[in-house]
Structure 1
Amino acid sequence: MSHVLTHVKYQLLETIRVPVAMIGNIFFPSASMLFFVVPFAGDDPGASTYATGSMMTFAVMSSCLFTYGVGVSEDRAQPWDPYLRTLPAGPVPRFAGRLVTGLALMGLALLPVLLIAVLLTEATTTPLGLLLGFAALFAGAVPFTFLGLLIGYSLPSKAAIAVAQITFFPLAFGGGLITPPGSTPAFIEAIAPYLPTRGAVELVWAATTGFTPQVTSLVMLAVWTVVTGAFAVWAYRRDEGRRFA
């Protein structure tokens, strides 16, 4: 555990030393809340609650794809990374530290979204709903974490940035995160249940409101989790075998 905490400390310090990385992680979800949710749905308790769940899922996906996808790829390009893999402690402390660091950055991305919802909208839920909502967010983050790790361990840093961006926007729009349930265009409604973003946000809506998630969305979320997890493991072993065999 001490090794894990040491890695967390230094990975957070590395992030803080490049403030634009943290600002970017926080800016997009917060800006989306301010520009799209507050003026158009802020006075409607139901709509603003759904929209807040969507924007928090948006923040989680953004944090996972860029923290793990771009961060891992950039670390792999540094000579320090292969050196750490040769140490007797093995890869587990560094890998666990990376996951904890990602959770911390995810929390930073969620905090301003939550504050904007509390201070500037009529979004509402119960204390239990709030706790269940956070649990749903972290459960829904799993496939995006795996997807970020897959990108990070498969691609060089310049390509990882592009692929993370290309992946992020179709998943956000295609999953219906930009509009409340039932008001998205027909073609989005048709494809959304098959994307992990839809299953993730429906878990949050179910936890914080009376929304009933679609079976297809939840099944596909599980499928995405298994598939991205398998590919993330493959990418890690491929990278390890190619560089250290």
Structure 2
Amino acid sequence: MSGLILTHARFQLIETSRTPIAIIGSAIWPAASMLAFVVPYAGDDPHFATYATASMLTFAVMSTNLFQYGVGVADDRVQPWDPYVRTLAAGALPRFAGRLLAGLALMAVALLPVVLISAFLTAATLSPFRFLLAILTTALIAIPFILMGLAIGYSLPPKAAVVVAQVLFLPLAFGGGLMTAPGWAPGFVDTVAPYLPTGGSVRLMWAAVGEYPFSPTAVVSLLTWTIALAGVALWAYRRDEGRRFS
């Protein structure tokens, strides 16, 4: 089973590498935001630079998974190869696990420029323990956005999936408070953010990298979003399977 999973992951990475802009594009927005907003305005302040980096990492996690799975899965569904693979005896698990591994690898590529910019161009600092905690938190907060992408990808055709991902992209980022450090967002954003998946995620990241207080509300909200999005993704997958293979 592990061999099949790695084979599917390798196939996904090879397919994506044939369109390099798909890899570069996922890293541009977070890196550009770091260079435009964090480095010149908060780069000399260790406190705010660290929190702003955590915000940009959350931004990269959200955008990469939303487009990688949302648009990528929708595009795969219209290719002749996808119906063939879904009829093989191995089942859906190797495909899903392989896509997950490939997506995490691409997400790491998108996160790397943000980390490098923060390390060399800002005063942000982390202890080894905080750095490890941030890595674990990054993997954790990726789950709801992977599920969101899968729900979009299995529900919509490619052109519609692109539009929906773009429509969700900025409102989730702004509404979740990803564009500011803690306490800098407008009042209505601070009120709404903990109940959005982006807001819950960035609050976990802030708590991982600094002394930001742990928010039970954000955790419960993020868990609720994860369960709900898992249900939608599963429903969309089964509906697509029923329409095309029944």
TM score, norm. by length of structure 2: 0.98
> What's the CA shift for 1:215?
2.3
1:88 matched to which residue of 2?
89
1:232 matched to which residue of 2?
233
Output the amino acid matched with 1:182. Answer: G
Output the amino acid matched with 2:91. Answer: G
1:21 matched to which residue of 2?
22
Distance 1:68 1:205 in 2: 26
1:44 matched to which residue of 2?
45
Distance 1:91 1:199 in 2: 30
SS in 2 for 1:131: helix
Output the amino acid matched with 2:206. Answer: W
1:80-229 maps to which residues of 2 (within 5 A)? 80-229=81-230
SS in 1 for 2:44: coil
Distance 2:96 2:12 in 1: 11
> What's the CA shift for 1:142?
0.9
Count matched residues. 245
SS in 1 for 2:164: helix
Distance 2:68 2:243 in 1: 23
> What's the CA shift for 1:45?
0.2
Output the amino acid matched with 1:3. Answer: L
Output the amino acid matched with 1:244. Answer: F
> What's the CA shift for 1:52?
0.2
Distance 1:183 1:98 in 2: 37
Distance 1:219 1:37 in 2: 29
Q: Deviations over 1:12-52 (max 9, x none)?
A: 11111101111111111110111110001000000000000
Does residue 1:8 correspond to 2:9, yes or no?
Answer: yes
Output the amino acid matched with 2:135. Answer: F
Output the amino acid matched with 2:4. Answer: H
- Give unpaired runs (5+ residues) of structure 2: none
Output the amino acid matched with 2:228. Answer: V
Between stretches 120-129 and 214-223, larger displacement belongs to 214-223
SS in 1 for 2:212: coil
Distance 1:91 1:194 in 2: 32
Distance 1:51 1:72 in 2: 31
Distance 1:81 1:20 in 2: 22
- Aligned residues with identical type, % of pairs: 59
> What's the CA shift for 1:91?
1.8
Computed over aligned residues only, the root mean square deviation of the Cα atoms, in angstroms, reads: 0.8
Output the amino acid matched with 2:40. Answer: P
Distance 2:245 2:188 in 1: 46
**Ranges of 4+ aligned residues in structure 1 off by more than 6 Å:** none
Distance 1:88 1:32 in 2: 45
> What's the CA shift for 1:93?
1.1
> What's the CA shift for 1:214?
2.4
> What's the CA shift for 1:64?
0.7
Distance 1:37 1:115 in 2: 13
